[in-house]
Amino acid sequence: SNYSINNIEIITRKKADCKGAKRAGHVGNLNYPSFSAVFQQYGRHKMSTHFIRTVTNVGDPNSIYKVTVHPPTGTLVTVEPKQLVFRRVGQKLNFLVRVEAEAVKLSAGSSSTRSGSIIWSDGKHTVTGPLVVTMQQPL
């Protein structure tokens, strides 16, 4: 983190544009297919975050994908909307994932990681996004 655009261009040997990352709000909103939430407990009992994703229909037109959530243990995960209604191929739609977690008992400097998934299906095609939640207890 804290790499300059010049640093990124030297490493990747490509033109870099970081404006999209700034608009996304935080690193969790870079539109990756996976979801990773890291919570620093700092004595808090409940913590939350959210992710925004944009998906593109590459399947059949007039497809309806319904969501199934398998939340990591100790979390509440909600997805809005509950279904994505695509009218045409190439259409883009957004969805929001909210993750709420309760503190777990950890010793100072340790962490706990749990995993789950978010699954979209139209009955014919299935798209799975892994969801990982890490709880950290600072020193």
**pTM, 2 dp:** 0.78
Query: What share of the chain has pLDDT > 70, as a percent?
Result: 88
20 and 36 fall within a common domain: no
Does residue 18 have a pLDDT over 80? no
Phi first, then psi: give them for residue 76, nearest 5 degrees: -115, 120
Number of CB atoms found within 10 A of residue 70's CB: 13
Q: What is the CATH number of the domain that holds 76?
A: 2.60.40.2310
Instruction: State residue 138's pLDDT score.
Output: 86
Helical H runs in 1-139? 5-12, 19-24
69 and 127 fall within a common domain: yes
Instruction: State residue 78's pLDDT score.
Output: 97
- Answer with the residue of higher pLDDT: 5 or 18: 5
Instruction: State residue 57's pLDDT score.
Output: 94
Does residue 15 have a pLDDT over 70? yes
- pLDDT tens-digit map of 29-57: 667 789 999 999 888 889 999 999 999 99
14 and 74 fall within a common domain: no
- Answer with the residue of higher pLDDT: 25 or 114: 114
Q: Taking residues 96-110, what's their average pLDDT? A: 92
Instruction: State residue 82's pLDDT score.
Output: 98
- 30 Rama sector, left if φ>0, alpha if ψ -120 to 50, beta otherwise: alpha
77 and 107 fall within a common domain: yes
16 and 42 fall within a common domain: no
- How far apart, in whole angstroms, are the C-alpha atoms of residue 38 and residue 111? 10
Instruction: State residue 86's pLDDT score.
Output: 97
Q: Which domain holds residue 123?
A: 31-136
Mean pLDDT rounded to a whole number for the chain: 88
